[in-house]
Amino acid sequence: DVKVTQSSRYLVKRTGEKVFLECVQDMDHENMFWYRQDPGLGLRLIYFSYDVKMKEKGDIPEGYSVSREKKERFSLILESASTNQTSMYLCASSRGGGSTNEKLFFGSGTQLSVL
Amino acid sequence: GENVEQHPSTLSVQEGDSAVIKCTYSDSASNYFPWYKQELGKGPQLIIDIRSNVGEKKDQRIAVTLNKTAKHFSLHITETQPEDSAVYFCAASIYTDKLIFGTGTRLQVFP
């Protein structure tokens, strides 16, 4: 089965720090996504990528950027972390490559706390 | 853009009873409606999905119904078991893998 691995389960950072969240998938998927999960707000899309070096903004991109230099790896970057970015971050991937409405495979999430 | 509303936010049932979670969507162009289950400490996993050309789909104890006219879809779990306890998310999309999720329902099944 597809495995989506997020580098850290828990992360504690200070306000103003630059933060990198890493995600790797092992099934040659074209599409990768970053969501943030907050109680009462569900999952909200931050950024997604349909191909290497390609990125598109989701619904809440402010304060975030992404990098996809290799097909299997999708990084989320918080340029200057703020307390309102304390959240659970979920990475996901799907097959893509012209097919649509495909199953998303999620990682286990990174709980980020910004102090 | 698309907006998905989900109700209730919490649901408690006795083991063996049925559970129903309802979602409404705003964009009539949406064509794909998956349901994800998130267990404690894990990422969400797809449990069932339905496409706009189908009104109902079943998989053992779970079923999903879609009413395109009313723009709502529902998840039905019959004969609930303690292992059904989790957070459930509905979602919608328009011919892409970019999903818009509902706010989630925490289901608790009591023995």
- B2 burial (CB, 10 Å; 0-12 / 13-18 / 19+) is middle
Which of A31, A45, A101 lies closest to B32 in CB terms? A101
A103 to chain B: which residues are within 8 Å by CB?
34, 46, 49
Determine the pLDDT at residue B53: 87
In whole numbers, what is the pLDDT of chain A averaged over residues? 93
Q: How far is B53 from chain A (nearest CA, A)?
A: 13
Kindly state whether B89 is in contact with chain A, defined as any CB-CB distance less than 8 angstroms: yes
Is the per-residue pLDDT at A97 higher than 80? Answer: no
Kindly state whether B105 is in contact with chain A, defined as any CB-CB distance less than 8 angstroms: no
Question: Chain A interface residues facing chain B, Cβ-Cβ under 8 Å?
Answer: 4, 31, 33, 35, 40-45, 48, 58-59, 90, 92, 94, 96, 100-104, 106-109
Is the per-residue pLDDT at A99 higher than 90? Answer: no
Determine the pLDDT at residue A28: 92
User: Tell me: the pLDDT tens digits for A34-75?
Assistant: 999 999 999 999 999 999 988 999 999 999 999 999 999 999
User: Tell me: the pLDDT tens digits for B44-69?
Assistant: 999 999 998 889 999 999 999 999 99
Tens digit of pLDDT per residue, chain B (111 long)? 789 999 999 999 999 999 999 999 999 999 999 999 999 999 999 999 999 888 999 999 999 999 999 999 999 999 999 999 999 999 999 877 789 999 999 999 999
Q: What does the angle CA B86 – CA A109 – CA B104 come to, to the nearest 5 degrees?
A: 35
CA dist., res. B33 & res. B56, Å (int): 11
B93 to chain A: which residues are within 8 Å by CB?
101
Strands B105-110 and B10-14: parallel
CA dist., res. A115 & res. B36, Å (int): 31
Determine the pLDDT at residue B94: 86
Rounded average pLDDT over A88-108: 88
